[in-house]
Amino acid sequence: MGGYVVQRGSDVALFGTVYSNPSLLEAMGDHQIRTNRALVDRLLPREAIQAQAVVIGHSHYDHLMDTPYIANAYATNAKVYGSRTTASLIASSLPPARLVDVGPAAAAGKGIDINSAAGATPRMRLWPIASVHSDQFRVMVPLSGVNIPFHVWRGEVSEPLTTLPAHSSGWAEGEVYAYLLDFLDDQGRVEFRIYYQDSGTDAPMGFPWGGKEPPDGKRVDVSLICLGGDFEHLHNHPEAIIKATRPRYLLLGHWEKFFVAQDDICRTSTVRAIPLQDTHYFIRRAKAAMKSARLDGKPIVPCPTASVLNFPIDPANHAAVHKAMKKPSTTYEFGR
Ligand SMILES: [Zn+2]
Ligand SMILES: [Zn+2]
């Protein structure tokens, strides 16, 4: 959920791809949860086999649980980039050489080169940005006017575990990162730049360049923005991050109702959104924010499991992208 496969030719990265959806009872009741391998086998885009990187923003089950299986069965050449907690939680499934703690690079403001082979010129560069996780939801106490915020499954894990977590609470949030992922040309210049977050935040946490202009003058091509979580009680989400990244294309992710199995969702007629959230309201705000930042186009709301988006590098081609987006004949239902 909220996961993406991004590709430029043979350069492929995954962002928190998860397909296994425990039910609300299993997740909130802390029952045993695990990867639904058959579902991953069916839905994971085959491009994932080529991936050099699996990028994880935080370690909740709905962003990390399927990574051990995907990294062993499909993306067998990829390293997993995430927090120390991410590496610790899945240490029983992958050798240490395939687990990269991005914390030191985030602290030093450094990019991490991703090479397809040792000694080769880097084709991608990943910039981790220290971020935070919003509350997940808020429940109003009837007749009282009181809202109780919920922020569950917190905590960090600093030592490698010997087995994978078996319950939602075991998938501890850990340190949280947003990212810039740069696709580089043969001269090492940035050709295409993606911003990714898997939880909404307020500035400056999770904001690239401390909210200032990009030092290399290269603006963001695609921002992958998180719609899920208690965004209404953040100060300025998504407006602030849209203004800060000024993307050519804006994709809104992590909006689907993830307590039901995503059973080949794009071939069904309806995709339902997260309960208790006013998804339409978020989309309207994102649209208005794009307009006020003088960005062309509209926010794109992709199908969570099977959208394939090709972003032409030609900046004149916005209309073509938006037209292409309409192809999967899926109705998005954004009820509360
Ligand atoms: Zn989370
Ligand atoms: Zn999440």
Tens digit of pLDDT for each residue in 176-222? 999 999 999 999 999 999 999 999 999 999 999 987 889 999 999 99
Task: Tell me which ligand sits closest to the C-alpha of residue 174.
Answer: 1
Question: pLDDT (tens digit, 9 = 90+) per residue, 147-169?
Answer: 888 898 999 999 999 999 999 99
* Phi, psi values for residue 287, rounded to 5°: -65, -45
- Output the CA 268–ligand 1 centroid distance in Å: 27
Question: pLDDT (tens digit, 9 = 90+) per residue, 43-67?
Answer: 888 889 999 999 999 999 999 999 9
Q: Is the pLDDT of residue 86 over 60?
A: yes
- Output the CA 228–ligand 2 centroid distance in Å: 7
Q: How far apart are CA 311 and CA 71, in angstroms?
A: 25
Q: How far apart are CA 278 and CA 227, in angstroms?
A: 10
pLDDT for residue 125: 97
Which domains are present in the chain? Answer: 4-333 (3.60.15.10)
- Output the CA 198–ligand 2 centroid distance in Å: 7
- Output the CA 58–ligand 1 centroid distance in Å: 7
- Output the CA 60–ligand 2 centroid distance in Å: 7
Residue 22 contacts residue 31 (beta carbons within 8 Å): yes
- The residue to which tokens 């999770």 are assigned: 206
Mean of pLDDT values over 225-231: 89
Task: Tell me which ligand sits closest to the C-alpha of residue 259.
Answer: 2
- Output the CA 161–ligand 1 centroid distance in Å: 20
- Output the CA 196–ligand 1 centroid distance in Å: 14
Q: What single-letter DSSP state applies at residue 265?
A: G
Q: How far apart are CA 91 and CA 61, in angstroms?
A: 15
pLDDT for residue 185: 92
Does the pTM of the predicted model rise above 0.75? yes
pLDDT for residue 263: 67
Q: What is the mean pLDDT of the chain?
A: 88
pLDDT for residue 144: 84
- Output the CA 200–ligand 2 centroid distance in Å: 10
The segment with the largest mean pLDDT, out of 3-17, 72-86, 131-145, 294-308, is 72-86
pLDDT for residue 21: 85
Residue whose C-alpha is closest to residue 181's, from 245, 272, 107: 245
Q: Is the pLDDT of residue 247 over 60?
A: yes
CA dihedral sign of residues 51, 57, 63, 66: positive
Q: pLDDT over 70 for what percent of the chain? A: 87
Task: Tell me which ligand sits closest to the C-alpha of residue 226.
Answer: 2
Q: pLDDT over 90 for what percent of the chain? A: 58
* Integer CA distances (angstroms), 325 to 161, 236, 297, 307, 308, in order: 41, 27, 12, 8, 9
Task: Tell me which ligand sits closest to the C-alpha of residue 58.
Answer: 1
34, two tokens: 């695990």
Residues 6+ apart with CB under 8 A from 118: none
- Output the CA 166–ligand 1 centroid distance in Å: 17
Lowest-confidence pick of 56-70, 101-115, 116-130, 292-306: 292-306
Question: pLDDT (tens digit, 9 = 90+) per residue, 291-303?
Answer: 999 998 888 888 7
- Output the CA 218–ligand 2 centroid distance in Å: 29
Q: How far apart are CA 34 and CA 11, in angstroms?
A: 29
Q: How far apart are CA 70 and CA 92, in angstroms?
A: 14
On the CB side of 19, how many CA atoms lie within 13 Å of its CA? 22
Mean of pLDDT values over 80-100: 98
Residue whose C-alpha is closest to residue 63's, from 102, 35, 101: 35
- Output the CA 257–ligand 2 centroid distance in Å: 11
Residue whose C-alpha is closest to residue 241's, from 196, 279, 273, 277: 196
Mean of pLDDT values over 65-89: 97
Which amino acid, one-letter code, is at 243?
A: K
pLDDT for residue 96: 98
Residue 140 contacts residue 146 (beta carbons within 8 Å): yes
Q: Is the pLDDT of residue 245 over 80?
A: yes
pLDDT for residue 256: 82
Higher-confidence residue of 34 and 320: namely 34
- Output the CA 63–ligand 2 centroid distance in Å: 6
**pLDDT band with cut points at 50, 70 and 90 for residue 83:** very high
Residues 6+ apart with CB under 8 A from 87: 80, 96, 99, 100, 101, 160
Task: Tell me which ligand sits closest to the C-alpha of residue 63.
Answer: 2
pLDDT for residue 116: 67
Q: How far apart are CA 33 and CA 286, in angstroms?
A: 34
- Output the CA 62–ligand 1 centroid distance in Å: 7
Residue 32 contacts residue 204 (beta carbons within 8 Å): no
**pLDDT band with cut points at 50, 70 and 90 for residue 233:** confident
- Output the CA 274–ligand 1 centroid distance in Å: 14
* Integer CA distances (angstroms), 119 to 115, 181, 237, in order: 8, 20, 41
- Output the CA 173–ligand 1 centroid distance in Å: 6
- Output the CA 173–ligand 2 centroid distance in Å: 10
- Output the CA 320–ligand 1 centroid distance in Å: 33
- Output the CA 97–ligand 2 centroid distance in Å: 26
